[in-house]
Structure 1
Amino acid sequence: MGLLKTIFFIIFFGYAFKFLARLFAPFLIKKATETIKKKAEQQFRGQQGQQQGSSVKEGETIIDKKPAGEQESKKSVGDYVDFEEID
């Protein structure tokens, strides 16, 4: 009798979970898409604000130089050893 009860409860909870998932899934998905949409809009507004805040006029060309720290690190990587391939 205990085995039948266990099987019955497993089947019952499986169907209950399916029913509740179908009932609440659209609501949860809608909430998730709304939060993602809000985050994307905030990020887009942040990028727009950065572009508008710069003092660059349209049509100007700006060349940004690399920081000196990056150039020095490449020089200290090691020595180049020239070699010849021997058959």
Structure 2
Amino acid sequence: MQTASFTGFIYALFYMIAFYYIFRFLVKLFLPLIVKKVVEKAGENMQKQQQHAQDNTWKKTQSKDEVIYNTANTKNPRETKKVGDYVDYEEID
């Protein structure tokens, strides 16, 4: 069985610190590129979904040949909502 030495501890500590700083450098270097690619891909997917939905509504609109006008609502104005009865009162001296 081997025993730990002080120099071995220093080397391990040095490698951990070196790995930490190299990892931070690489993350700062590549993370913006990765995020940019992800955002672009999400934008493309949303644009495809919107185009697909727009194409579907356009096809549905083109297939309808008849137009129906509802004239019953235009002749009779809407009644206002009745909340309660109107009560007229006078002040008593």
Q: TM-score range by the shorter chain?
A: 0.5 to 0.7
What is the correspondence of 1:1-80 to structure 2 with a 5 Å cutoff? 1-54=7-60, 55-56=63-64
Find the structure with the greater CA-based Rg: 2
- 5+ long unaligned stretches in structure 1: 61-87
Amino acid at match of 2:25: F
| CA shift digits 1:36-74 (9 cap, x unpaired) | 0000000000100110011247x86xxxxxxxxxxxxxx
Amino acid at match of 1:32: V
Q: Once superposed, which parts of structure 1, at least 4 consecutive aligned residues long, lie more than 2 Å away?
A: none
CA RMSD of aligned residues (A): 1.6
- 5+ long unaligned stretches in structure 2: 1-6, 69-93
